[in-house]
């Protein structure tokens, strides 16, 4: 399958049409942005790592009964995915306090929750992805009640599976962001990516941050962190 026409260029990926109208090619870049595009940079080798890592994780989730857009890894940076229309919601699942949660509620980073939290934000760069609840999402017609229930159920199931996977790698899954899409039949599929760009991953024994916070907060050793996470995942889950 070949790339035909650039459909969309985002902050970290390009999306191309293919000869099959139902399939797209996602191509992962090394570009990194943070704070709604205010901070820009590049993380050398990130695209290759995120492509492979996201595919590995999506395959494991499929095995657990969570439908995803993944079809086939085509090359080190390119993956064939099902074409979906993205539900304009970012779904954030948290196991511990960090980032915007810690700031908003005045809770120390790392505080362990009794049970995971789930929140939505409206995927809208111009508005800075504002937080919204399910009644807001319904009022704005962003998704139906049934879709929201499915999205919540899948997101919590994804958390259970990802937590277990990362635990095996000696990594604590603090929080992550998911995006979902609708296929032409109207089914909800997990889309976008799962990578250190979209998850907070801490070394369980040292507490060291092994994710995009190293870039956001200028902690250094950004490339090394992405490589370390990939290496641990490959060691435990090589196919």
Q: Which residues bind ligand UDP (CB under 6 A)?
A: 90, 92, 98-101, 129, 175-177, 198-200, 212
Under 8 Å between Cβ of 195 and 50:
yes
Q: Which is closer to ligand UDP, CB of 18 or CB of 226? A: 226
- Contact in structure between 48 and 31 (CB atoms under 8 Å): no
Closest CB to ligand UDP among residues 69, 212:
212
C-beta of 127 vs 146, nearer to ligand UDP: 127
Toward ligand UDP, which CB reaches closer, 14 or 214? 214
Q: What is the nearest approach in angstroms of ligand UDP to the Cβ of residue 95?
A: 11
212, two tokens: 């995009």
> What is the separation, in whole angstroms, between the first and last Cα of the chain?
23
Element holding 170 (H helix, E strand): none
* CA 220 – CA 213 distance, rounded (Å): 10
Min dist CB 232 to ligand UDP, Å, is 18
Residues 26, 30, 35, 38, CA torsion sign: negative
Residue number, nearest CB to ligand UDP: 99
Helix (H), strand (E) counts: the chain = 6, 14
Q: How far is the CB of 157 from ligand UDP (least distance, A)?
A: 18
Instruction: Tell me if 84 sits within 8 A of 182, measured CB to CB.
Output: yes
Q: Is 203 helix (H, G, I), strand (E, B) or coil?
A: strand
Min dist CB 57 to ligand UDP, Å, is 14
Cβ-based nearer residue to ligand UDP, 60 or 177:
177
Shortest CB 104 distance to ligand UDP, Å: 9
């Amino acid at each position: 399958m070949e790339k035909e026409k650039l459909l969309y260029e985002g902050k970290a990926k390009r999306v191309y049409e293919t000869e099959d109208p139902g399939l797209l090619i996602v191509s992962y870049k090394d570009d990194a942005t943070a704070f709604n595009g205010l901070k820009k940079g590049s993380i050398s080798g990130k695209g290759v790592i995120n492509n492979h890592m996201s595919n590995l994780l999506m395959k494991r989730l499929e095995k657990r009964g969570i439908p995803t857009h993944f079809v086939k890894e085509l090359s080190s940076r390119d993956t064939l995915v099902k074409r979906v229309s993205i539900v304009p919601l970012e779904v954030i699942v948290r196991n511990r306090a960090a980032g915007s949660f810690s700031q908003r509620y005045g809770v120390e980073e790392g505080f362990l929750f009794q049970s995971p939290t789930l929140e939505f934000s409206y995927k809208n760069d111009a508005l800075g992805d504002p937080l919204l609840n399910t009644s807001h999402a319904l009022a704005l017609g962003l998704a139906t009640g049934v879709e929201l229930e499915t999205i919540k159920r899948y997101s919590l199931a994804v958390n259970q599976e990802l937590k277990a996977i990362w635990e095996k790698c000696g990594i604590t899954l603090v929080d992550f962001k998911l995006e979902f899409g609708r296929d032409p039949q109207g089914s909800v599929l997990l889309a976008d990516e799962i990578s250190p760009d979209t998850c907070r991953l801490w070394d369980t024994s040292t507490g060291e941050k092994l994710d995009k916070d190293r870039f956001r907060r200028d902690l250094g050793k950004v490339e090394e962190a992405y490589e370390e996470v990939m290496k641990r995942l490959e060691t435990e889950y090589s196919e």
